[in-house]
């Protein structure tokens, strides 16, 4: 058994720094590169891409990234784990094998984890007695079944562990939890039992710290953000894990950013609910047990983590189409910038009303004044305001109303209050609104499947 | 004396459906005593009047000198449905740090 392993975060979402994974494999030693590509909205985008072309449906950044990093990963024996397979892990793996062939590699084992995509199994699942009731409203999925864009089960670490046990160099999954990507190599290397919930919780907490990339190594830091050095060349976080569940969060020395008590604790608090009840498919981690010690030198020790048994369900995330939205903006300058923006808003609303359009919501915000903190914002005298961006957004089931709204923004320049600019890029176009349907499914209704693809 | 929460704590916020999560972390133990005492469900609900339209849930993480709040019905429908500029509540931790607290001494 290895004495320790170093797991590096390479991506916090699809659209994150393109060069981050490359820097993680080149700027120092690591054993695993883990990349989270999937936000809830990503699955519906990928499903739409796959509907148009059955070969797509995965994070398209992956094949070109692999072309850059595979020779290095092979040489340094770095394994890559990612959920960027989206709704087509197999298609992604096939492209990666093509890339491997192209750059002259002769052996590469790529594993895929399948079975999370239940979009075509909804009827069968309802028949088996699970109506995928909305976790927030309790409503049966039947009401949105015909509008479904995607439906995926969140798998945990164990399918990836199976892939690693079978010798995979690269593991590409669909909807695996972000935390499972980091936990899996620890289970694999340290032979942790699926019943040792304290250890599984430790790996899960490490995964939570790594899952948002640079957000644990100096990015988006509210505490003393000005002290963070060289964010331009930020090093993403690395977990140096030990068999007893202790781990250090650190980063490559030569890269920028910072790892400190503050950077790690802020990330620990990010997007959590009840801290005693951090539910994953693998365990229920207790965040009130976590101990942190800042060792200095960009090293934070995380230890003593406790947890409990997993729940009998997997979480399911479904997305469905729910009307249209659009937003437009204009910028008004001093003098009386705020009054002008407010007047323009009134005029626009009156015009929309006269046109007899239908909206579920019209929202007006004054950017530069109170769009972030609303009533908590400091009240300013008009003379102190240099400029205000008026932002108006609408949502409706009626496409034509939203489209017509888009045509009413630009005319305000010549037919509304003065000293206005900032209308570029054409009319705001309606975009479809994708809504979410969170649900639970008994674990026995879905089976993860691990397949190994090898070079021919 | 009056202190600003910003001077004794930091934090991070994000979205969980239509709820915003706001995590607040004190810089030291004394700061944690202050936030644990003064950041109650009621005071936070009152602070976010007009922003948080639902219930406030409060959780303690003394191990991290931190409190976590869930502000329900806050993000205009959440994620992709919301028309808000800050649809994910990313700036709400900073909004809570605006709070002023009356303390005996610091």
DSSP string, A391-438: EEEEEES-HHHHHHHHHTSTTHHHHSSSSEE---SSSPPPEEEEEEEE
A395 CB neighbours in chain B (<8 A) are: 81, 83
Q: Which of A308, A289, A310, A275 is nearest to A198 (CA)?
A: A308
Instruction: Tell me the per-residue pLDDT of A53-92, one tens digit each, with 9 for 90 and over.
Output: 999 999 999 999 999 999 999 999 999 999 999 999 999 9
User: How far is it, in rounded angstroms, from Cα B20 to Cα A280?
Assistant: 20
Alpha-carbon distance B32 to nearest alpha carbon in chain A (angstroms): 14
Q: Which of B96, B32, B30, B97 is nearest to B64 (CA)?
A: B32
Instruction: Tell me the per-residue pLDDT of A102-144, one tens digit each, with 9 for 90 and over.
Output: 999 999 999 999 999 999 999 999 999 999 999 989 999 999 9
3-state DSSP assignment of residue A56: coil
- Which of the residues A269, A318, A366 would you substitute to probe the B interface, choosing the one with the greatest number of B C-beta atoms within 10 Å? A269
By the CB < 8 Å criterion, does A325 face chain B? yes
Domain-by-domain residue ranges, chain B?
2-102
**Residue A424: its pLDDT value, please?**
72
CB pairs under 8 A between A and B: 129
By the CB < 8 Å criterion, does B8 face chain A? no
**Residue B75: its pLDDT value, please?**
96
**Residue B106: its pLDDT value, please?**
57
**Residue B78: its pLDDT value, please?**
83
Instruction: Tell me the per-residue pLDDT of B11-57, one tens digit each, with 9 for 90 and over.
Output: 999 999 899 999 999 999 999 999 999 999 999 999 999 999 999 99
What angle do the packed helices A197-210 and A178-190 form, to 10 degrees?
Answer: 130
Residue with tokens 């916020």: B13
pLDDT band at A425 (very low <50, low <70, confident <90, very high): confident
Of all residues in chain A, the one with the smallest CA distance to B50 is A375
B28 CB neighbours in chain A (<8 A) are: none
* Facing residue for B68 by CB, picked from A267, A275, A365: A275
Domain-by-domain residue ranges, chain A?
5-116+154-311, 321-436
* CA A394 vs CA A79, A324, A397, A413: distances in Å: 46, 8, 10, 19
A178 CB neighbours in chain B (<8 A) are: none
Contact across the interface for B79 and A41, Cβ inside 8 Å: yes
Instruction: Tell me the per-residue pLDDT of A373-383, one tens digit each, with 9 for 90 and over.
Output: 999 999 999 99
Q: Over pLDDT 70: what percentage of chain B?
A: 98
**Is the pLDDT score of B80 beyond 90?**
no
**Residue A75: its pLDDT value, please?**
96
Average pLDDT, chain B: 96
Average pLDDT, chain A: 96
- For domain A321-436, the question of CATH label 1.10.150 is answered with no
**Is the pLDDT score of B105 beyond 70?**
no
Contact across the interface for A376 and B15, Cβ inside 8 Å: no
- Which of the residues B64, B67, B84 would you substitute to probe the A interface, choosing the one with the greatest number of A C-beta atoms within 10 Å? B64
Q: Which residues contact A276 (CB under 8 A, 6 or more apart)?
A: A286, A287, A288, B59
Report ipTM (2 d.p.).
Answer: 0.98
Alpha-carbon distance A434 to nearest alpha carbon in chain B (angstroms): 6
């Amino acid at each position: 058994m290895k004495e320790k392993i170093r797991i590096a975060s390479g991506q916090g979402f699809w659209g994150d720094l393109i060069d981050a994974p490359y820097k993680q494999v080149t700027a120092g030693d690591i054993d695993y590169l883990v990349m989270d590509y999937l936000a809830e909205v990503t699955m519906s985008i990928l499903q739409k891409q796959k509907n148009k072309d059955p070969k797509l449906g995965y994070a398209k950044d992956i094949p070109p990234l692999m072309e850059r990093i595979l020779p290095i990963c092979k040489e340094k024996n770095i394994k890559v784990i990612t959920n960027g397979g989206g709704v087509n892990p197999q298609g992604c793996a096939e492209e990666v094998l093509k890339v491997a062939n192209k750059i002259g590699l002769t052996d590469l084992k790529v594993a895929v984890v399948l079975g999370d995509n239940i979009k075509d199994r909804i009827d069968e699942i309802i028949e088996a007695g699970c109506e995928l009731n909305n976790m927030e409203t309790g409503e049966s999925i039947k009401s949105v079944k015909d509008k479904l864009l995607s439906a995926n089960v969140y798998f945990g670490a164990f399918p990836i562990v199976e892939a690693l046990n079978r010798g995979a160099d690269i593991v590409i999954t669909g909807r695996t939890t972000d935390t499972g990507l980091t936990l899996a190599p620890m289970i694999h290397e340290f032979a942790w039992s699926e019943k040792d919930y304290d250890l599984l919780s430790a790996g899960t907490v490490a995964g939570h710290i790594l899952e948002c990339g640079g957000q644990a190594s100096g990015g988006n830091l509210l505490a003393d953000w000005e002290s963070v050095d060289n964010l331009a060349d930020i090093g993403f976080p690395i977990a140096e894990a030990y068999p007893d569940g202790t781990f250090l969060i650190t980063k490559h020395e030569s890269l920028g950013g910072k790892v400190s008590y503050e950077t790690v604790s802020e990330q620990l608090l990010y997007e959590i609910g009840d801290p005693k009840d951090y539910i994953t498919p693998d365990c229920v981690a207790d965040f009130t047990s976590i101990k942190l010690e800042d060792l200095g030198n960009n090293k934070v020790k995380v230890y003593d983590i406790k947890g409990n048994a997993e729940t009998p369900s997997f979480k399911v995330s479904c997305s469905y189409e729910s009307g249209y939205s659009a937003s437009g903006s204009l910028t008004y300058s001093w003098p009386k910038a705020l009054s002008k923006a407010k007047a323009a808003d009134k005029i626009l609303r009156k015009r929309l009303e006269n046109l007899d359009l239908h909206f579920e919501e019209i929202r007006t915000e004054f950017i530069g004044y109170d769009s972030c903190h609303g009533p908590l914002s400091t009240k300013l005298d008009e003379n102190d305001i240099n400029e205000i961006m008026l932002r108006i957004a609408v949502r409706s089931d009626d496409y034509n109303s939203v489209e017509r709204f888009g045509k009413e923004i630009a005319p305000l320049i010549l037919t509304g209050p003065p000293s206005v600019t900032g209308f570029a890029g054409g009319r705001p176009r309606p975009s479809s609104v994708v809504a979410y349907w969170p649900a639970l499914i008994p674990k026995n209704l879905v089976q993860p499947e691990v397949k190994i693809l090898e070079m021919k | 004396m009056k202190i600003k929460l910003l001077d004794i704590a930091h934090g991070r916020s994000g979205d969980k459906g239509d709820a915003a999560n706001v995590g607040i972390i004190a810089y030291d133990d004394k700061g944690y005593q202050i936030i644990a005492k003064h950041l109650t469900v009621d005071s936070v609900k009152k602070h976010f009047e007009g922003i948080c339209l639902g219930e406030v849930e409060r959780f303690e993480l003394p191990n991290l000198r931190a409190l976590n709040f869930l502000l329900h019905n806050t993000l205009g429908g959440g994620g992709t449905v919301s028309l808000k500029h800050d649809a994910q509540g990313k700036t709400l931790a900073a909004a809570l740090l605006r709070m002023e607290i009356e303390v005996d001494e610091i």
